[in-house]
Amino acid sequence: MAARARTNMAGLCSTALFMTLGACATTPPAQVPQAVVPAITPPQPDRWPAVQSRVADDPALALRVRELLGGMSLEEKVGQIIQPDIASITPAEVAQYKFGSILAGGNSAPGGNEKAPAAEWLKLADTYWKASDQARWNGPKIPLMWGIDAVHGHANVVGATIFPQNIGLGATRDPALMRRIGEVTAREMVITGIDWDFSPTLAVVRDDRWGRAYEGFSEDPSVVRSFAGEMVQGLQGRAGTPEFLGAGRVIATAKHFVGDGGTAGGKDQGDTLASPEELRDIHGAGYPPAIEAGVQAVMASFSSVRGEKVHGSSALLTDALKRDMGFSGLVVGDWNAHGQVPGCTNTSCPQSINAGLDMFMAPDSWKELYANTLAQVRSGAIPMARLDDAVGRILAVKLRAGLFSKGAPSARLLAGQVEQLGSAQHRAVAREAVRKSLVLLKNNGNLLPLSPGANILVAGDGADNIGKQSGGWTISWQGSGLTNADFPGATSIWKGIDAAVRSAGGRATLSADGSYKRKPDVAIVVFGEEPYAEFVGDRATLEFSPGDKTHLDLLRKFKAAGIPTVAVFLSGRPMWVNPELNMVDAFVAAFLPGSEGAGVADVLLRDARGQVAHDFQGKLSFSWPKRADGAPLNRGDEGYDPLFPFDYGLRYADRTVVSALAEDRPPPVPGGADGVFFGRGSLPPGWSWATSGQGLTVSSLDRRAQEDARRFRWTGASEAQAFIQTAAPIDLSRETTGELSLLVDYRVDERPSGAVNLAMNTASVPIAGVLRSAPIGQWRTLAVPLRCFARAGLDAKAVAVPAAIGTAGRLSLSISDVRVASAMINQDLCGQK
Ligand code: BGC
Ligand code: BGC
């Protein structure tokens, strides 16, 4: 109440910190008699709740901030509000510019090696920290602060404990467990010398087609609200106690403020059309508890709210967050997201700072952004008071986090104790989380729990695949292309089953393709989505794997053979899996459990004495769809008609029977939405195949379905090209900086007689070598990193021809799929002749 009253009187000057900065010195709220403060009843709909943070106002700290600010040069102040990425800045440059912070994005790692050992991370943290420490400071040194996305454990680092992604944690309905997960995550981060976590994600996910659905705890604000404060306290320690930002703790970030989970169509970085009340009460639900718990950073969302980019919205960043809710920490931007504000570029955006952003995330754009921001402060385009407020907030966070006294990263408690990274104790917390996150959707005839004495066949491409069970934001940004060897100390789902069965004296067999010699008593089939992150995971529908039904064939085979079957489904969201549900007796939604696959066996199997040691406990925190089209479906909707409602989840004692479900698929998606230019035989509306030149013929052929591929024959009569085109060029610049590739599924039917080029627009890469070494008649995938095209001169902002294949020689080539996606690249096509 007091905070609310002060807010009204003094507007922006609500925090003790701000007042010490001079701008508000004339409003001493403590001396204002309560009686003269008008009560605000009823609250205006666009007012956000006043929140009383458990981090007490600290006049001594505010004074220290003012002193520090007084000693800083203008350049040093600007340096504090820019955060470059380690992939694009050297320690020497950090020292030269005296930046306040650095980050390691999902694809950034020591020496560019994503698999660098933990000790190297700590060494690098020290190197940057020391460079900054030895910089020529005008006044007192300002310590550097390093941020990272430890969004399901410190999963960037090989050997760390990887927790279930938030969608699974939401299903545990166990916020106290979340706090322990935060504690472990913080400890593992401190071991590697990193101060600041870009977590938790507080998105309230309203459209599961969104590629970041799994980063959210729930579609429902109540669940997000219950987890938000606990995760903050786990990472930072409890405010008001000595553990707060003490040894073994890190700074937390509530993200992405606000409305990230509400974009129309589930489009990443899109536009949220929610009303002001929905924005506050649904999408904003996690922020009051996070702020109350003392969260020190909030990350602004890439997305827009009713057409306005959050990065340019003073109504949201300043009024709602800082004024109404009284947030006194720092607001960090997202990855070059300021560049999307109208009138801004990645390298110039006074609008964002003026709207209330305190720190630009400027991974590769920092140099010019620094120069421009400095000039904008000098010219008055950014008011000095705003800069001082931003820097003051950053300094206050660093002071609260003890960074002025903690010393170099390696000098801190726990630092370098790499044996604690992924320790048995930490993994036990993750395994408990896995057990609690599993949701039993179907258990006809009570097939589960299984007896470990049975002859169990474990099949499916997810059975022994730790990368797949971990999802995005794992070792790399997309989490793709990993093998079990990249996860020392981790356990696949298969390994967990095998160990449990062995210890009970039984026998389990792994057979990814489901083949067997002796007919098993029961089969467990583990399958699901391939890893993805952010916009790469946006989907046009919720049908699981529309283009490839191998897993379904496997389920059918077992059914036909009369083998009772359990499906364990790995996914970042609920999906339409009616055909799969129909084929099996039991179906477990396991979401993305992370490194402790053994948690699955803990629940699926009876123990060695035949007892149920762990019943299912998970409840859906997302409604499970009855329809495949992916239309938004959330608890409380009018006409709410899910297949399995929010809160659903069977227990072993339940006798619920799931009867046969309708299997009508949605009409095939024309592509485009998933970065698909050609797939299932069709192109997005407005796109077409075309040819130029003489002596090139095109025919249709069947690969997986009728006429789902094209065959091109070049006779060598002249230079000729086959290409995909559109009249409305698309912008692929984000995909280009995001390490994505152009993927072409092809089959060589006759080898090329001369040079062959693959071009995007007119930027081309030679591919004859690849085609010549490909076996005749076999389907393969060619992956060309988009940066290769950029290097060849592509203007990624306007792509009208995403793929063109041309040769003057002879060649016969079939193509079934053309898309932009993440890929493991084994061949350096950029350099190849
Ligand atoms: C994501 C953020 C993340 C940041 C740094 C962005 O693309 O949206 O969630 O914290 O990158 O990796
Ligand atoms: C970075 C991520 C970032 C993404 C955004 C990637 O290269 O590693 O951290 O979120 O780009 O485009």
Indicate if the pLDDT at residue 15 is higher than 60.
no
Torsion region of 214: left, alpha or beta (phi above 0 gives left; psi -120 to 50 gives alpha):
alpha
Indicate if the pLDDT at residue 436 is higher than 70.
yes
218 CA to middle of ligand 1, Å? 19
Torsion region of 693: left, alpha or beta (phi above 0 gives left; psi -120 to 50 gives alpha):
left
Contact 156/475 with Cβ under 8 angstroms?
A: yes
Instruction: Give the E-state strand segments of 446-529 in sequence order.
Output: 455-459, 507-510, 522-528
Contact 765/789 with Cβ under 8 angstroms?
A: yes
Contact 827/785 with Cβ under 8 angstroms?
A: no
Q: Which residues in 275-291 are b (16+ Cβ under 10 Å) and which e?
A: ebebbbbbbbbbbbbbb
For residue 757, the cross-strand partners are: 766, 806
798 CA to middle of ligand 1, Å? 24
Residue among 201, 335, 739 to mutate when testing ligand 2 (max atoms within 8 A of CB): 335
CA-proximal residue: ligand 2, atom 6 (nearest)? 738
Torsion angle of alpha carbons 162, 167, 172, 173, nearest 10°? Answer: 130
534 CA to middle of ligand 1, Å? 8
Judge whether 388 counts as a catalytic residue: no
CA-proximal residue: ligand 2, atom 12 (nearest)? 738
Quick: pLDDT tens for 71-86. Answer: 999 999 999 999 999 9
- Indicate whether residue 785 lines ligand 2 (CB < 6 A): no
Q: Ligand 2 atom closest to Cα of 533?
A: 10
CA 316 to chain centre: 23
3-class DSSP state of 8: helix
- Indicate whether residue 106 lines ligand 2 (CB < 6 A): yes
Quick: pLDDT tens for 739-779. Answer: 788 999 999 999 999 999 999 999 999 999 999 999 999 99
Contact 526/486 with Cβ under 8 angstroms?
A: no
Residues 6+ apart with CB under 8 A from 373: 78, 81, 82, 348, 350, 353, 360, 382
575 CA to middle of ligand 2, Å? 26
Whole-number percent of the chain with pLDDT over 90: 83
Quick: pLDDT tens for 273-322. Answer: 999 999 999 999 999 999 999 999 999 999 999 999 999 999 999 999 99
Cα 87 from Cα 336, distance rounded (Å) = 14
- Written as six digits, the tokens of 440 are 């039993």
Residues 6+ apart with CB under 8 A from 448: 440, 566, 586, 588, 604, 652
Quick: pLDDT tens for 591-610. Answer: 999 999 999 999 999 999 99
Q: Quick one: pLDDT band at residue 827, thresholds 50, 70, 90?
A: low
The pLDDT score that the predictor gives to residue 822 is: 74
- Written as six digits, the tokens of 418 are 């790499």
675 CA to middle of ligand 2, Å? 17
Is 343 exposed, middle or buried, given 0-12, 13-18 or 19+ CB atoms closer than 10 A? Answer: exposed
Distances (CA, A) of 730 to 602, 675, 676, 725: 48, 11, 13, 11
Quick: pLDDT tens for 778-809. Answer: 999 898 989 899 999 999 988 999 999 999 99
Nearest to 350 by CA among 615, 78, 151: 78
105 CA to middle of ligand 1, Å? 7
Contact 645/663 with Cβ under 8 angstroms?
A: no
Cα 86 from Cα 378, distance rounded (Å) = 28
CA-proximal residue: ligand 1, atom 7 (nearest)? 335
- Indicate whether residue 473 lines ligand 2 (CB < 6 A): no
Residues 6+ apart with CB under 8 A from 35: none
Is 611 exposed, middle or buried, given 0-12, 13-18 or 19+ CB atoms closer than 10 A? Answer: exposed
Judge whether 538 counts as a catalytic residue: no
**How would you classify the pairing of strands 439-443 and 586-589?**
antiparallel
Name the residue type at position 625.
P
Q: Quick one: pLDDT band at residue 667, thresholds 50, 70, 90?
A: low
Q: Which ligand is nearest to the CA of 108?
A: 2
Q: Quick one: pLDDT band at residue 43, thresholds 50, 70, 90?
A: low
Q: Ligand 2 atom closest to Cα of 108?
A: 8
427 CA to middle of ligand 1, Å? 26
Residue among 477, 735, 786 to mutate when testing ligand 2 (max atoms within 8 A of CB): 477
Contact 287/258 with Cβ under 8 angstroms?
A: yes
Residues near ligand 1 with C-beta < 6 Å? 103, 105-106, 149, 198, 255, 302, 334-335, 534
157 CA to middle of ligand 1, Å? 17
Name the residue type at position 322.
K
Residue among 88, 149, 166 to mutate when testing ligand 1 (max atoms within 8 A of CB): 149
Mean pLDDT of 15-20: 32
The number of residues in the chain equals 833
Quick: pLDDT tens for 680-734. Answer: 788 887 788 999 999 999 998 988 887 889 999 999 999 999 999 988 888 888 7
CA-proximal residue: ligand 1, atom 11 (nearest)? 335
DSSP 577-630: -HHHHHH-SEEEE-----SBTHHHHHHHB--TTS--S-------SSPBPSSSS-
- Written as six digits, the tokens of 623 are 């409604």
Q: Which ligand is nearest to the CA of 335?
A: 1
CA-proximal residue: ligand 1, atom 12 (nearest)? 105
Contact 758/803 with Cβ under 8 angstroms?
A: yes
CA-proximal residue: ligand 1, atom 5 (nearest)? 105
Q: Ligand 2 atom closest to Cα of 734?
A: 12
CA-proximal residue: ligand 2, atom 5 (nearest)? 738
Of these residues, 534, 585, 596, 719, which one is catalytic? 534
The pLDDT score that the predictor gives to residue 111 is: 96
CA-proximal residue: ligand 1, atom 6 (nearest)? 335
Contact 695/715 with Cβ under 8 angstroms?
A: yes
604 CA to middle of ligand 2, Å? 37
Nearest to 746 by CA among 725, 760, 730, 767: 767
- Indicate whether residue 339 lines ligand 2 (CB < 6 A): no
Mean pLDDT of 358-369: 98
The pLDDT score that the predictor gives to residue 826 is: 56
Is 826 exposed, middle or buried, given 0-12, 13-18 or 19+ CB atoms closer than 10 A? Answer: exposed
Q: What is the pTM of this model?
A: 0.83
Distances (CA, A) of 480 to 107, 218, 263, 468, 786: 11, 24, 25, 8, 17
Residue among 201, 210, 335 to mutate when testing ligand 1 (max atoms within 8 A of CB): 335
**How would you classify the pairing of strands 803-807 and 756-760?**
antiparallel
**How would you classify the pairing of strands 763-766 and 810-821?**
unpaired
Pick the range with the lowest mean pLDDT from 246-260, 424-438, 536-550: 536-550
Mean pLDDT of 541-545: 93
Residue among 107, 255, 268, 735 to mutate when testing ligand 2 (max atoms within 8 A of CB): 107
Of these residues, 188, 215, 319, 334, which one is catalytic? 334
Residues 6+ apart with CB under 8 A from 229: 175, 289, 290, 292, 293
Pick the range with the lowest mean pLDDT from 469-483, 603-617, 659-673: 659-673
Mean pLDDT of the chain, nearest integer: 91
Quick: pLDDT tens for 179-233. Answer: 999 999 999 999 999 999 999 999 999 999 999 999 999 999 999 999 999 999 9
The H or E element that residue 360 is part of is strand 360-361
Mean pLDDT of 106-132: 97
Q: Quick one: pLDDT band at residue 831, thresholds 50, 70, 90?
A: low
Contact 580/567 with Cβ under 8 angstroms?
A: yes
CA-proximal residue: ligand 1, atom 2 (nearest)? 334
Residues 6+ apart with CB under 8 A from 241: none
Indicate if the pLDDT at residue 31 is higher than 80.
no
Residues 6+ apart with CB under 8 A from 748: 771, 774, 775, 776, 777, 778, 812, 813
Nearest to 459 by CA among 547, 585, 550: 550
